[in-house]
Amino acid sequence: MIAYQSVSTDPFFNLSLEELLFQRFRDEDAVIVYRDAPAVVAGCYQNIAAEVDAVSLFRRGIPMLRRISGGGTVYHDLGNINYSMLFRREGFVSYEDFLTPVIAALGRLGIPAERRRSCDIALFGKKISGSAQKVSGGRVLHHGTLLFDSELSLLDEITTGRKSGSFCSKASESAICTVTSIRREGLWGDASAEEFAEALLSELSGEGAVRFTPDEGMLSEIERLSEEKYRSWDWTWGKTPGFHFEREGSFRGDKVRISYSARRGIVEEFSLRSPALDEEEARALFEGSRFGPESFSELAGRLAGEDGEELLRLLL
């Protein structure tokens, strides 16, 4: 068993670390824990803009990332512990196989957690952890979040409380659950999140685990994967499942109706009906453009000038 606590809080680095170790450790089981600076991480098969307030996240500078596993959208910050378990597995892989040892480890740490739904962990009836899996080549990556001392009000403001009903697609949707944190429930006193992460790693990896440190070559590969994949539009937004978007609202005091579709992240069939804007100019700007808050922000500003922000919030 290999154990590693990442020293980085860069979410792009840590998702790249997970993927690279999943590819590399073919014969070794491993447990990783890490914490991230504020970020939103969506499942591989999700439409990120349908799950979160993408405009607010973009304006706050909080990155939105797509991971390689399925499941729902989660919020990371320094009060959230992320754990990853990379194991050899053949045949059917059950969430229970991984959640059971995690719940047992939490119990040994004085946290009376229990399984909830198929892939969640709850504390006193409220969710503290969600998990997802990827299986490939006889290996399974099981990873999850663990709310130790996260900013729950921000989590609700930009994620769970901001799901959009304007998107129609077959993309996976996140479940809405009441959440809490270990610290909010009065457990683990004044311990830091980093101290708890170390304790969790020790419990999950067990005695005899070999502590791992990536060498310079691996660090370079992780950085390359971070830049080429996880920071790229092609992976984050270009992988968005095809969808159709429709919304009616008010712009400059008049009724506006917006509709468009997208495949592989490229906008098609764009329509904007508003007495305040030139419909042909809008179609020419947006049709064939890249889907996502960065591209849409620039185009909305070109079309609506100083009212570009108002238009942007209608577009996503």
3-class DSSP string for 249-282: EEECCEEEEEEEEEECCEEEEEEEECCCCCHHHH
Whether residues 278 and 187 share a domain: the answer is no
Residue 275 has pLDDT above 90, yes or no: yes
Q: What is the reported pLDDT for 199?
A: 97
Whether residues 283 and 232 share a domain: the answer is no
Q: What is the reported pLDDT for 159?
A: 67
Whether residues 157 and 294 share a domain: the answer is no
Contacts of 50 (CB under 8 A, 6+ apart): 163, 164, 166, 167, 169, 171, 173, 243
Mean pLDDT to the nearest integer, 292-308: 98
Lowest mean pLDDT among 22-26, 98-102, 193-197, 235-239: 22-26
Of 211, 236, 261, the position where a domain reaches its end is 236
Mean pLDDT to the nearest integer, 265-291: 97
Whether residues 19 and 109 share a domain: the answer is yes
Q: What is the reported pLDDT for 163?
A: 66
% the chain with pLDDT above 70: 98
Q: What is the reported pLDDT for 68?
A: 97
Vertex 78: Cα angle to 105 and 128 (nearest 5): 45
Whether residues 147 and 294 share a domain: the answer is no
Whether residues 26 and 175 share a domain: the answer is yes
Of 236, 253, 270, the position where a domain reaches its end is 236
Which is more confidently placed, 28 or 103?
103
Mean pLDDT to the nearest integer, 156-171: 76
Range of the domain at 157: 2-236
Vertex 54: Cα angle to 50 and 60 (nearest 5): 160
By CB atoms closer than 10 A (0-12, 13-18, 19+), residue 217 is exposed
Residue appearing with tokens 């049709």: 287
The pLDDT-based confidence of 162 (bands split at 50, 70, 90) is low
The pLDDT-based confidence of 16 (bands split at 50, 70, 90) is very high
Q: What residue type is 310 in one-letter code?
A: E
Q: What is the reported pLDDT for 251?
A: 97
Mean model confidence pLDDT for the chain: 94
Determine what percent of the chain falls in helix, strand and coil, rounding each to the nearest 5.
35, 30, 35
Strands 64-66 and 39-42: what pairing?
parallel
Mean pLDDT to the nearest integer, 265-269: 98
Whether residues 272 and 306 share a domain: the answer is yes
pTM equals 0.94
Q: What is the reported pLDDT for 55?
A: 94
Whether residues 55 and 135 share a domain: the answer is yes
Residue 288 has pLDDT above 80, yes or no: yes
Q: What is the pLDDT of residues 228-262, one digit of tens each?
A: 999 999 999 999 999 999 999 999 999 999 999 99
Whether residues 259 and 186 share a domain: the answer is no
Whether residues 89 and 184 share a domain: the answer is yes
> What is the CATH classification number for the domain harbouring 272?
3.30.390.50
Of 203, 236, 269, the position where a domain reaches its end is 236
Which is more confidently placed, 153 or 97?
97
> What is the CATH classification number for the domain harbouring 166?
3.30.930.10
Mean pLDDT to the nearest integer, 34-47: 97
Half-sphere exposure of 149 (CA within 13 A, CB side): 15
When divided into structural domains, the chain yields a total of: 2
Mean pLDDT to the nearest integer, 274-294: 97
Whether residues 204 and 257 share a domain: the answer is no
Q: What is the reported pLDDT for 157?
A: 72
Q: What is the reported pLDDT for 160?
A: 53
Whether residues 159 and 268 share a domain: the answer is no
Q: What is the pLDDT of residues 54-112, one digit of tens each?
A: 999 999 999 999 999 999 999 999 999 999 999 998 767 889 999 999 999 999 999 99
Mean pLDDT to the nearest integer, 12-23: 96
Residue 161 has pLDDT above 70, yes or no: no
Closest CA to 168 of 96, 261, 97: 261
The pLDDT-based confidence of 176 (bands split at 50, 70, 90) is confident
Residue 152 has pLDDT above 90, yes or no: no
